[in-house]
Amino acid sequence: MTRKDVTVELRARERVNAMLFFAALVLFIFNFALGPDREKLREVAPGLLWLAFLFTGMLGLGRSFQAERENECFEELLLTPGDRESIFFGKLAGNVLFMVTAEALILPLFGILYNLDIWAYLPALALVALLGTIGFSTLGTLLAAMTAHLRAREVMLPLLLFPLTVPVILGSVRATEAILAGQGLGEVSHWLKLLGGFDIVFLVVSPLAFEFVLEE
């Protein structure tokens, strides 16, 4: 699993670059769309931040099984020693890693471009981001494996993933909002529990479902 993970990383360096550049562009475009009104921006900042995270994550997820499909080595992937679950967790670890890397760049850039003081809240924000990213990537990895075999796969992944991850999106955005407003982690504990619950449910279910998806 770890070996696969590393190869995926090496292979996909272009993916991380694309994700980072895309994330920076998203932040610019939001600014054009909303105008330079600082107060208004501050109000919608948590939502913007998560939109940037999710769009970037989606970009990465969409590519996560592309290499296998283009080189037609899905069968080889299945033949690798170890069970299907480790393939899933290997892919998942890669996806989470890419998304977290992108987030680590988006966050400071976001703070700078939108004049937000994020440094004081960094640990709390990181926790929320991690929980949200795990939930989003878990379902995302499963659905990416599924849509990799479809016609119109680029369209289908977001179409399926966004409605299913509404709890993650809502939870992360609300928690981020509260944190940026200066509230402690205790105030958002119910959102954190929801995010954690979502993560646990789908970390258990997705590897099981993954076996059905890969079956040929």
Under the binding rule (CB under 8 A), the answer on residue 215 touching another protein is yes
The smaller minimum CB distance to another protein, of residues 110 and 210, is found at: 210
The smaller minimum CB distance to another protein, of residues 122 and 159, is found at: 159
Under the binding rule (CB under 8 A), the answer on residue 112 touching another protein is no
Total number of residues shown for the chain: 216
- Interactions with another protein, residue window 175-194 (CB under 8 A): 190-191, 194
Q: Smallest distance from the beta carbon of 149 to another protein, in angstroms?
A: 7
Q: Smallest distance from the beta carbon of 56 to another protein, in angstroms?
A: 22
- Give Dmax over CA atoms of the chain in angstroms: 56
CA dihedral (198, 4, 208, 74) positive or negative: positive
* Count, residues near another protein per rule CB under 8 A: 33
Counting Cβ atoms within 10 Å, is residue 33 exposed (0-12), middle (13-18) or buried (19+)?
exposed
Q: Smallest distance from the beta carbon of 181 to another protein, in angstroms?
A: 16
- Interactions with another protein, residue window 129-168 (CB under 8 A): 139, 142, 146-147, 149-153, 156, 159-160, 162-164, 166-167
Q: Smallest distance from the beta carbon of 176 to another protein, in angstroms?
A: 14
| Rounded CA separation 83/63 (Å) | 23
CB contact burial 73-104 (16+ within 10 A = b; e otherwise): ebeebeeeeeebebbbbbbbbbbbbbbbbbbe
The smaller minimum CB distance to another protein, of residues 130 and 209, is found at: 209
Both tokens of residue 119?
A: 């440094």
Contacts of 117 (CB under 8 A, 6+ apart): 111
Under the binding rule (CB under 8 A), the answer on residue 58 touching another protein is no
| Closest residue by Cα to residue 91 from 199, 195, 207, 215 | 207
State the residues that interact with another protein by CB under 8 A. 139, 142, 146-147, 149-153, 156, 159-160, 162-164, 166-167, 170-171, 174, 190-191, 194, 197-198, 201-202, 205-206, 209, 212-213, 215
